[in-house]
Structure 1
Amino acid sequence: MTSEEFAKYIDHTILKPQATVDDVFSVCDEAIKYSFATVCVNSYFVPFVKKKLKGTSVGAATVVGFPLGASSTAAKCFEAASSILSGANEIDMVINMGLLKMGNIDEAYLDIAAVVEAAHSAKQEVNLKNVIVKVIIETCYLTDGEKKKAAEMVKKAGADFVKTSTGFGPGGAKVEDVALIRKVVGNRFGIKASGGIKTYKQVLSMIEAGATRIGTSSGTKLMEEFLNEGKGI
């Protein structure tokens, strides 16, 4: 794997509540330096990120219903659409975990599908060729059976990725969860491993298990480790 290929797995993330515009700009500079896939921020910062990243290959991603997933569907749809109108081209939404836990699969599915529809409608207003919707299922709270149901819902709802974690729960991405999700969604669907990924070897293990994107606030550290230790992999 080349350094360029490695970099394109990374969603360089800053979602801490105390983040400032200067902090976000610093993350954008790092993402531009290494040509990461995206910078992922809270929705307030989307216009700043879009302006900073203009003319680069780095995308602008934001989170919806984050981090609990318990917002109303209407609120999630509004947040997704307004973020796209403000410049985001990737949306990472959180499922309603309570609905899944209650076994209310139909309503949980409709929550996801509505956000996907809102995102696709908004992209037409700003003439975007593509908007990517990733759905965070927060694996640390789910049984294996619930993980399978969640992954099936995400694919059925027309989203583009299953994402493991918010990074705010008691556990993050696990190789075995990525492998489980890959078995459910098949070979061509996106999987984003996120939460607690701090070394480039962890990244490689997630990719080997089936991840196609990595969410991390340690993108620069991971890239430097890869360049120093991972050459020739």
Structure 2
Amino acid sequence: MADSVSLTRSEVAAMIDHTLLAPEATSADVTALVAEARELGVYAVCVSPAMLPVRAPGVVVATVAGFPSGKHHSLIKGAEARLAVDQGAAEVDMVIDIGAAVAGDYAAVLADIIVVREAIDQRAVLKVIIESAALTDEAIVEVCRAAEQAGADFVKTSTGFHPTGGADPHAVRLMADTVGGRLGIKASGGIRTAEAAAELITAGATRLGLSRSRAVLDGFPE
């Protein structure tokens, strides 16, 4: 039982983006995802943009842009995000140009995020995926600052597809310290247990991206 934070199952469920971004996902899989999301009482479902529109009464619909590599032209990311919002997405998780961050070109990272922010205006929540496991601490801080300057609503650790790994408490803590409560912090990638989720929440995560939501929630008290 997860007890490092005093949160109930329903409180944690309200922090979860129940996620299906597998390339082999079908429409039937998305329908099942939504049904499970409603049963579990999670906050949102997150699906690939090609699966939109998605009917999910009572559940927020989120999607991704520039996923998973981030190596898309900023205008393509912006167009993808805008189309997704037009098709009903209320939240967009965009991937930065990770190579630009690795190279220390934070101006390019800032410009990339601004293009997507302007493309969707304030019609949807914008989360910025920084792929924290691939970055130094200095780069994490600078990219989070760029995301805030660009008008993002959240910074997010990971796509869950990068070989360097997913969410890490140290990165979450660093991200939280950098944005100081002004932006949300989404931890995602490799979170499979209640204990791992609790540790990330303790570190400062305000949202969790999970594909195994039921297993994680089963570890929290009613």
Q: How does 1:1-233 map to 2 (within 5 A)?
A: 1-47=7-53, 49=54, 51=55, 53-54=56-57, 56=58, 58-120=59-121, 123=123, 131-170=124-163, 171-226=165-220, 230-231=221-222
Structure 1: gaps (5+ residues): 124-130
Q: Choose between structure 1 and 2 for higher RCO, CA contacts under 8 A separated by at least 6 residues.
A: 2
1:74 Cα deviation from its structure 2 partner? 0.6
What does the per-residue CA deviation read over 1:168-210, in whole Å, with 9 as the maximum and x for residues that have no partner? 0120000011001111110232000000000111111111110
Structure 2: gaps (5+ residues): 1-6
1:6 Cα deviation from its structure 2 partner? 1.2
The structure with the greater share of residues assigned to helix is: 1
What does the per-residue CA deviation read over 1:114-136, in whole Å, with 9 as the maximum and x for residues that have no partner? 10111116x3xxxxxxx210000
Give the alignment's Cα RMSD to 1 decimal. Answer: 1.1
What secondary structure does 2:161 align onto? coil
1:4 Cα deviation from its structure 2 partner? 2.1
1:150 Cα deviation from its structure 2 partner? 0.7
Report the AA paired with residue 155 of structure 2.
V
- Quote the Cα distance in structure 2 between the aligned partners of 1:103 and 1:222: 36
- Quote the Cα distance in structure 2 between the aligned partners of 1:108 and 1:83: 22
- Quote the Cα distance in structure 2 between the aligned partners of 1:6 and 1:69: 29
1:103 Cα deviation from its structure 2 partner? 2.4
1:45 Cα deviation from its structure 2 partner? 1.0
- Quote the Cα distance in structure 1 between the aligned partners of 2:31 and 2:195: 27
Aligned length: 215
- Quote the Cα distance in structure 1 between the aligned partners of 2:162 and 2:40: 28
Is the contact between residue 62 and residue 88 of structure 1 (CA under 8 Å) also seen in structure 2? yes
The percent identity for this pair of structures is 43
Is the contact between residue 126 and residue 153 of structure 2 (CA under 8 Å) also seen in structure 1? yes
Is the contact between residue 46 and residue 60 of structure 1 (CA under 8 Å) also seen in structure 2? no
The aligned residue for residue 128 of structure 1 is none
1:2 Cα deviation from its structure 2 partner? 2.9
